[in-house]
Amino acid sequence: MKQRFKDKINHPMYGKNHSIKTRNLISKKTKGHLNPMYGKQHTKTTKKILSLCKSKYIVKLYDINVNLLLTFNNNVELAYYLSIHKCTVGKYIKSQKLFQNKYYFKKEKRD
């Protein structure tokens, strides 16, 4: 992005919408083989990198004595490790209660 458009207010399309005719033209120009991602798939490593970039937090697993056991990139990985649902992990992070009388879950900002 150009430096002069870093501030959204300076962008020429700020507060404006494309006309229906223009939207249809853009749609037509990016369908099928004209789309740059047509027929391509992200590799597993690329998906992992994108996932890590989007994630703001890491989840840490502690024992009863609050000793760090493991660190996970997100709730889903921790849930998979413990064979539980990801919503259960979220519930115990919010409540800060002991899970199965063994573990504490804590969420921390990624560095």
Cα dihedral 5, 6, 10, 12 sign: positive
Which residue, 65, 108, 50, 59, is CA-closest to 88? 59
Q: For the chain, how many structural domains are there in total?
A: 2
Could you tell me if 50 and 98 are in contact, meaning their C-beta atoms sit under 8 angstroms apart? no
Residues 64 and 91 in one domain: yes
Could you tell me if 111 and 58 are in contact, meaning their C-beta atoms sit under 8 angstroms apart? no
Instruction: Tell me the C-alpha to C-alpha distance, in Å, between residue 22 and each of 5, 11, 16.
Output: 22, 18, 13
Q: Is 7 part of any domain?
A: no
Residues 67 and 92 in one domain: yes
The pLDDT tens digits of the residues spanning 5-42 come to: 778 888 888 889 999 999 999 999 889 898 888 999 99
Residues 37 and 80 in one domain: no
Question: How far is residue 93 CA from its own chain's centroid?
Answer: 18
The pLDDT tens digits of the residues spanning 38-65 come to: 999 999 999 989 888 888 899 999 999 9
Q: What is the CATH number of the domain that holds 70?
A: 1.10.10
Parent domain of 64: 55-109
Residues 47 and 72 in one domain: no
Q: Is 75 part of any domain?
A: yes
0.85 cut: is pTM over it?
A: no
